[in-house]
Amino acid sequence: MGRAVRRSLLASSPRPARAGRPPDRSLPPSAILQLPPAIPRPAPAARPPPPAAALPEQPMAGPSPARLQGDVAAFSAALRTLVNNPQFSDVLFVVGQEQQKVFAHRCVLACRCQAFRGMLSQAPVGSQDSSSSTPTQGPYVLGNVQPEVFLAVIEFLYTNSVTLNSHIALEVLTSSVEYGLQDLCKLCVKFIKDTLSVEQVCEALQAAVTYGQVDLQQHCLDFIEGCTAAVVRTQGFRELSDVVLAQVLRSDRLAVDELELVQAVREWAHVSSAVLERPVPEVAALPVRELRLPLLAPSELVTLESCNQQDLLIPVENIAAAWRAHALRRGSGVPSRLCRPRRGTRPRDHHRHLEPHAK
């Protein structure tokens, strides 16, 4: 009985592993490997809050709004596809002598330009439904503007940018003033200044004076002073108004001799006389006052008197004052500005007798 119990205990107890052979620790096929849970660390003791009297009251702040800007170039490019696009358009213009159709969108024009807002608030002439509260689609006839110029204005209203060239820049400037688009006007002025040429500077100066663009006006005058001899031979010079021409002739820095200026003014006066259908002395009265006849030599004054008998460009008293300056050997009795040599005045012997005048 004792042996049987001892064998039974030995059979039920684990056998020791044999020397040199590690125990079998392989996992069964269905076991799930899992990291052991982390042992939590005790949290540090919290500091006691300060006394209630030491905490200032904080107002409840709501969420602050923020305006975020997307890709401006992509937005402008998308709106550019709507320029003169008949799809979804709700207003039609008939532009220029070519009667070119230009399609647009009423809401864009009205929100970008006060002049268009007023135009679109009224039914165009010949529309069938003038009593409707909703403005009719058109057509609106704009016969005095080139289609290319009008499309440049429309492009600016849609994209806040404009495509210009030297042929339309001054016309677009005119339209920008008429429509009250100051930003477009600034873009036009910048383009004109950057691309100014001998052929166009007088036309640009005339526009600058007409529309009160002082910066462009001064820029054009500086340009003319640098290349006066070439400018006075252009068609643009002959088309200047008498007021603008007189303003040019007041400059001391014109790079041309006075004799050439007299001839240029004579040619200008004959063109203006034909266009305005008025006598030469009448159209030239204002610019002729700025000619500095005392700077001419006696022989040149004799030739001038001979030519003047044909068109009476210069009043006799002006020529007499120049002879008086020669006779007295000083500029007495003559406005001081008429005795000052310009930058391009050729030196003559009698100039040393004229009284010096500060510029």
pLDDT, tens digit (0-9, with 9 covering 90-100), for 39-66 = 555 556 566 666 655 556 666 666 889 9
Q: Find the helix packing angle between 201-210 and 242-249, rounded to 10°.
A: 110
How far out from the chain centre does Cα 335 lie? 41
Q: In sequence order, which ranges of 127-213 are alpha helices (DSSP H)?
A: 147-159, 169-178, 182-194, 201-210
State residue 105's pLDDT score: 95
3-state helix, strand, coil in the chain (%, to 5): 50, 5, 45
Average pLDDT estimate for 85-114: 95
Q: Which two tokens stand for residue 29?
A: 């096929």
For residue 231, count CB atoms less than 10 angstroms from its CB and return exposed for 0-12, middle for 13-18, buried for 19 or more. Answer: buried
State residue 47's pLDDT score: 65
State residue 325's pLDDT score: 87
Q: Is the pLDDT of residue 5 over 50?
A: no
What is the C-alpha to C-alpha distance for residues 286 and 274, in angstroms, rounded to an integer? 17
Q: Is the pLDDT of residue 33 over 50?
A: no
State residue 135's pLDDT score: 45
* pLDDT class of 123 with cuts at 50, 70, 90: low
pLDDT digits (tens, 9 = 90+) for 303-335: 999 999 999 999 999 999 999 888 887 666 688
pLDDT digits (tens, 9 = 90+) for 262-290: 999 999 999 999 999 999 999 999 999 99
State residue 218's pLDDT score: 98
Average pLDDT estimate for 124-152: 74
For residue 93, count CB atoms less than 10 angstroms from its CB and return exposed for 0-12, middle for 13-18, buried for 19 or more. Answer: buried
Asked if residues 293 and 301 have their Cβ atoms less than 8 Å apart, the reply is yes
State residue 162's pLDDT score: 97
What is the C-alpha to C-alpha distance for residues 238 and 241, in angstroms, rounded to an integer? 9
Greater pLDDT, 356 or 251:
251
State residue 335's pLDDT score: 86
Q: Is the pLDDT of residue 225 over 60?
A: yes
The pTM (predicted TM-score) of the whole model is 0.76
Asked if residues 147 and 98 have their Cβ atoms less than 8 Å apart, the reply is yes
State residue 122's pLDDT score: 79
Average pLDDT estimate for 79-89: 94
